[in-house]
Copies of this chain bind each other. A is one copy, B any other.
Amino acid sequence: MVDFKQADQYVNDNLDASLDELAALCAVPSVAAQGMGIDEAVDVVQAMLAKRGFTTEVMQTGGAPVVYAERKGRNTAKTLLFYNHYDVQPAEPLELWDSPPFEATRRDGKMYARGVSDDKGHFASRLFALDSLLAQDPELPCNIKFVVEGEEEIGSLHMPAFVEKHAAKLAADACIWEFGYVDANDKPIQYMGMRGLCYVEFTVDLLKTDVHSGLGGSIFPNAAWRLVWALNSLKGPDGRIRIPGHYDKVVPPTELDRQLATALPYEGDDYKQRYGVKEFLRGTQGNPNLALQEFLEPTMTICGLTAGYQGPGAKTVLPAKASAKVDFRLVPNQTPEDVMKGLRAFLDAEGFSDVEVKELGSEPPGRTDPNDPFLNMVVETAAEVYGAPMTRVPMSGGSGPNHAFLHYLKLPVVTAGLGYPGGLVHAPNENIREDLYVKATQHIARVVTKFAEA
């Protein structure tokens, strides 16, 4: 029998060492979008796993490789799979960071770095949890497998095919997903699914060169204007995506979704305070409405706009080229294929055949059965650490390749981890709270143990 008091103490006593290990991983600028630091991150991740007695393997995917690892445990009949990723979002805009993004910095009970939460902190915390068990028993409670990929932040391009191809090797009984969060009241959250994603780049390229705006303004086509008009045609101020059929396959919220959304703590006031939001879209207030809108609605988000002169002051230029990065979030049962097809047809029909559309990354949506026993165990076990069981949320607002694990491995995918609403994930000053790092580690130690016993 595992002594959780002793395991918890181990986590408290060895926090500095674990955060040092995390800091070393964060020092690798493994930005998938910029193709940086991949090989180095693979080496560091592999070494971290090998240090815990895992057999590791660098597996090719067609893109950034997966670090795969496995170690047998006492109960050889039960296998738990951890999915994590070693790649991170770009650190830009660099000038908004209070400390260098790739030098993890501890201050005021937090640690700051790009990837310190998403997802290097989660990976390090999983290993720390295993350390706390191995300190009592040289064997792990059950078989453990790790899939640590390097393209999550650019849409896990190769993960579905990878999981399908290696389904036998990856076979497991349950999967702990890459992340987990607490809400604004530090209550842990169980996300029972993830929205899909279709991330595209629009490019308009009309002239050989930028032109003096005094020459071309009234007679030359302007790429920036074409882009603005094309975007506006796709979604107007009412927020409705105008691609024909875009909402046709959307499964409306179920009665359970409404119950869960009603039971959710209201994050609206926290969002307003934290992000400076004055009013939510459509003026929505309170749950279940805000939660249903946040988690179960398709979105079309402009993530970036680029055209012409962007420096200080005035430059009288007519830009040859303009581009936009746009993120569509999908809910069951939308598919990225439908979006891409509908997008091209719509733009052509609206007279925007000069707007090129490139798919940069896609994922279908995916959900785990809300009644799954493993999911329920993870939810209930949280109470021992956080003082309350996890709150069940119908879907995560984010996306990931969970659908591939659900579909090809036929296992429940659940979330648990150290994230919190102030973590500034994907933004400058990404950070973790050290107290939540400890709690997430202690929770995972219990999950592994109870899963092995079940």
Contact = CB atoms under 8 A, between A and B. Distances in A.
A294 B300 CA distance: 37
Contacts of A436: none
A304 B319 contact: yes
A356 to B, nearest CB: 15
A244 interface: no
Given A209-B428, A211-B275, A222 B315 contact: no
A207 B275 contact: yes
B293 A304 contact: no
Interface stretch (A49-57, A306-314, A377-385): A306-314
The main secondary structure of chain A at its interface with chain B is mixed
Contact of A315 (B96, B303, B324): B303
Contacts of A286: none
Contacts of A214: 195, 329, 396-399
Given A90-B309, A305-B322, A426 B224 contact: no
A274 B208 CA distance: 8
B222 A314 contact: no
Interface in A206-236: 206-222, 224-225, 227-229, 231-232, 235-236
Q: Tell me the number of copies of this protein.
A: 2
Contacts of A393: none
A290 interface: yes
A351 B237 CA distance: 10
A27 interface: no
Interface stretch (A14-22, A75-83, A128-136, A277-285): A277-285
A153 interface: yes
B207 A314 contact: no
Interface in A377-416: 396-399
B303 A319 contact: yes
A277 B317 contact: no
Given A214-B399, A215-B398, A271 B314 contact: no
Nearest to A318: B301
B279 A314 contact: no
Contacts of A279: 221
A150 B26 CA distance: 47
A199 interface: yes
Nearest to A200: B314
Most buried by B among A208, A311, A316: A316
A261 to B, nearest CB: 13
Contact of A327 (B35, B208, B217, B284): B217
Contacts of A324: 224
A315 B33 contact: yes
A424 interface: yes
Contacts of A232: 228-229, 232
B311 A303 contact: no
A179 B281 CA distance: 51
A351 B207 CA distance: 33
Contacts of A271: 219-220
Contacts of A306: 305-306, 310
Given A218-B297, A224-B302, A329-B214, A309 B92 contact: yes
Contacts of A207: 275-277
A210 B281 contact: no
B303 A316 contact: yes
Given A209-B428, A218-B397, 18 more contacts: A32-B313, A33-B315, A34-B312, A197-B316, A209-B275, A213-B301, A214-B397, A222-B302, A224-B302, A225-B301, A229-B232, A302-B307, A303-B315, A303-B318, A303-B319, A305-B308, A310-B325, A317-B426
14 contacts: A153-B315, A206-B276, A209-B427, A209-B428, A211-B275, A212-B398, A213-B327, A214-B398, A218-B294, A219-B280, A220-B277, A221-B278, A222-B302, A228-B228
Q: Which 9 A-B pairs have the closest CB atoms?
A: A33-B313, A214-B398, A217-B299, A224-B302, A208-B276, A304-B308, A305-B307, A232-B232, A304-B309
